[in-house]
């Protein structure tokens, strides 16, 4: 997965252009504007390669299939930086949260070694909240 095909470029620019996390189907829909006929298997193969080379990161939210996002450039860490996500219950979109409640090691029972945490917020995003 190193060649600059039209498909790869379309997928990459879709991910880097969007400020949020996209599902494979969303990626296909957006990238199809640049490459009509783009196939879903190609999207899956490209994102798999892109995740491996850390050009894109995978976002797993509870109860949802994986989404993908461009590493945040606001903090310019090469391999992306620690952040969380907000899932809008209305439009189903996923937005990055550049804040963190901090270590949660003390929440676990004695003897448990906490090495990582995931936080997902749910509710209404700004535009869906304004609409209500």
Partner DNA sequence: GTGGATGCAAACTCTTTGCACCTTG
Partner DNA sequence: CAAGGTGCAAAGAGTTTGCATCCAC
Query: Which among 11, 77, 23, 106 has a CA at the least distance from the CA of 50?
Result: 11
Structure tokens at 69: 């996002």
Map residues 74-103 to x or -, x wherever contact with its own copies holds by CB under 8 A. ----------x-x--x-----x-x-xxxx-
Residue 40 within binding range of its own copies, rule CB under 8 A: no
Q: Which letter does DSSP use for residue 18 in this model?
A: S
Residue 14 binding result from its own copies, DNA, none, given CB thresholds of 5 to 8 Å by partner type: none
Contact status, residue 21 vs residue 59, Cβ threshold 8 Å: yes
Site for DNA in 36-95 (CB under 7 A): 37-42, 44-46, 48-49, 65-66
Residue 25 binding result from its own copies, DNA, none, given CB thresholds of 5 to 8 Å by partner type: DNA
- Euclidean distance between the first and final Cα of the chain, in Å? 44
In the complex, which residues of this chain contact DNA (CB under 7 A)? 1-8, 23-25, 35, 37-42, 44-46, 48-49, 65-66
């Amino acid at each position: 997965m190193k060649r600059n095909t039209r498909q790869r470029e379309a997928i990459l620019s879709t991910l880097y252009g969007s400020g949020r996390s996209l599902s494979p189907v969303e990626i296909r829909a957006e990238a199809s504007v640049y490459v009509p006929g783009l196939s879903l298997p190609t999207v899956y193969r490209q994102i798999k390669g892109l995740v491996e080379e850390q050009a894109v990161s995978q976002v797993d939210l509870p109860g949802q299939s994986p989404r993908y996002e461009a590493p945040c450039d606001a903090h310019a860490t090469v391999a992306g930086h620690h952040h969380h996500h907000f899932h809008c219950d209305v439009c189903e979109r996923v937005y990055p949260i550049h804040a963190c409640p901090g270590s949660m090691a003390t929440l676990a029972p004695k003897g448990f070694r906490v090495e990582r945490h995931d936080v997902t917020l749910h509710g209404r995003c700004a535009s869906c909240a304004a609409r209500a």
